[in-house]
Chain A
Amino acid sequence: MLRLVFIKPTKGKVMRKLIFKDIQDLIIGSLGIVAFLSFFVGGVVSIQTALNIENPLIPKNLVGFATRQSVILEFAPTFMSIILAGKVGSFITSSIGTMRVTEQIDALEVMGINSVNYLVFPKIISMLLLPIVINFSMFLGILGGYAATIYGGFSSSADFIEGIQLDFRPYHVVYAFIKTLIFAMVLATIPSYHGYYMKGGALEVGKAATVAFVWTSVVIIVLNYFITQMLLA
């Protein structure tokens, strides 16, 4: 299928429109849920960290440090990608699957159009913008942690900000973006595959979306392990 994505391309003007539409559906449409989850989970991470620091010898800036590390290294890139496997992945599978069930893909093929390129290529290109979403998630996650720490009285603003800056390695952000790009490819291709090659009727569209979500999550988790091993160990 991947070979078909890149051969016999759709006309540039039409493809541009499709890409903008998919950016709207897959990227901009996900910002709300990403913002909501990131802010609150960032807050929970900082509260959990603060509540587990009982030893007075441990500096209070550890709350900011732990929040930053958790959000940048794992929460934003990996767990947001898994959440998006549910939102974006099932949208991709069900929209392509519905086109399969209602013979719209056959209609494209009969017209002599490369349906794989027409349907999947714009999704791959738009998902390349996922690092922007993850960047947004990192910012809001840390902001949520800051808000929870200050308003919960767990630490001072100065301590939290000092913790965020403590031992900061820009490479960690690069590492997060590298794995985000790889997850973006997984998020675009696995659900597309399950939608494109599905068989049956409306009920099977739902089943295909579920299977696509499970496989996307599994592949992301496994890849996360290997990427972390290669880039951080």
Chain B
Amino acid sequence: MITLKNIMKSFDGTEVLKGISMTFEAGKTNLIIGQSGSGKTVLLKCLLGLHQIDSGQMYFNDQVFGEMDEESRRTLRREMGMVFQGSALFDSMSVLENVMFPMKMLTKKSYAEIKCAAEEVIERVNLENANNKLPAELSGGMQKRVAIARAVVMKPKYLFCDEPNSGLDPKTAIVIDNLIREITQENNITTVINSHDMNSVMEIGDTILFLKDGLKAWEGSKELIFNTDNDAVNDFVYSSNLMKKIKQVHN
């Protein structure tokens, strides 16, 4: 579980996060949604420790991030997995090497054990025939699946995904969403996903945090988001013609 209390972050005097408080529960897919520039990526990078927060507290289970020394933070990071928006796969490594990489770097396991664990995860994301391919030889959806495999191979307690289905066709996007949800539930991971894709919200939004201009504008679940009377959320959710039609049918 991750708990945020009054998180503030600014860049060059511009406040980007203005007192965000939220709880992301384990075994659930927690979505952060909002328009571009609302602070989603900054919040995710703060959670990862890539940005230092100005004030507030972040709790990872019972550990207080702000009170941890550099070594403890490094240890905590080893319990985190991250799926980047552009996958961030290592170009010069094959699929298998990419997935083996974190274990090679951070564990003392033998090569055979590492390879076995990596192959197991690759099979889990249905890429068993792509072991020896380079990232450049894969489609966008396959790259995302490799990124997910690499993120979960260390069996993380926390999984972060930055727009995991951006640039993917709707069908592949749903496959990726469902894969993340299944892995989250199977391993009881606290998963936090940045998204502005309404399909993802409807598919896997167990908990949803809506950000607007760096403020928490709404919090709820996919069941509640359709019937909320929050203007900012409705403005965002029903911005497309498709969603407007769905609302008409729903009403």
Docked complex: A5-53 residues within 8 A CB-CB of B: 8, 10-11, 14
Q: Report B161 CB to chain A, min CB distance, Å.
A: 12
Known: A110-B77, A111-B77. A104 touches B88 (CB 8 A): yes
User: Which of the candidate stretches B60-68, B99-107, B191-199, B228-236 sits at the interface with the other chain?
Assistant: B99-107
Known: A112-B74, A112-B75. A103 touches B50 (CB 8 A): no
Docked complex: B73-126 residues within 8 A CB-CB of A: 74-75, 77-78, 80, 82, 84-86, 88-91, 101-102, 104-106
Interface residue? A74 (CB, 8 A): no
Q: For the complex, give the distance between the alpha carbons of A11 and B101 in Å.
A: 12
Interface residue? A113 (CB, 8 A): yes
Closest Cβ neighbor of A11 among chain B residues: B105
Q: For the complex, give the distance between the alpha carbons of A10 and B102 in Å.
A: 12
Q: Report B134 CB to chain A, min CB distance, Å.
A: 14
Q: Is the CB of B48 within 8 A of A110?
A: yes
Q: For the complex, give the distance between the alpha carbons of A110 and B89 in Å.
A: 13
- Checking A10, A98, A103, A109 against B105 with a beta-carbon cut-off of 8 angstroms, the contacting residue is A10
Residues of chain B within 8 A (CB-CB) of A102 are 86, 88, 91
Closest Cβ neighbor of B78 among chain A residues: A112
Q: Is the CB of B105 within 8 A of A106?
A: no
Interface centre among A8, A14, A110 (most CB of B within 10 A): A110
Interface residue? A158 (CB, 8 A): no
- Chain B residue total in the interface (Cβ 8 A): 20
Q: Is the CB of A107 within 8 A of B88?
A: yes
Residues of chain B within 8 A (CB-CB) of A109 are 50, 77
Docked complex: A92-118 residues within 8 A CB-CB of B: 98, 102-104, 106-107, 109-113
Closest Cβ neighbor of A103 among chain B residues: B88
Q: Is the CB of A113 within 8 A of B80?
A: no
Closest Cβ neighbor of A112 among chain B residues: B77
- Checking A14, A104, A106, A112 against B104 with a beta-carbon cut-off of 8 angstroms, the contacting residue is A14
Q: For the complex, give the distance between the alpha carbons of A112 and B78 in Å.
A: 6
Known: A109-B50, A110-B48, A112-B77. A103 touches B86 (CB 8 A): yes
Q: Is the CB of A107 within 8 A of B84?
A: yes
Q: Is the CB of A111 within 8 A of B104?
A: no
Could you give 17 example pairs across A and B, Cβ below 8 Å?
A: A11-B104, A102-B86, A102-B91, A103-B84, A103-B88, A104-B91, A106-B50, A106-B84, A106-B88, A107-B84, A109-B50, A110-B50, A111-B78, A111-B101, A111-B105, A111-B106, A113-B106
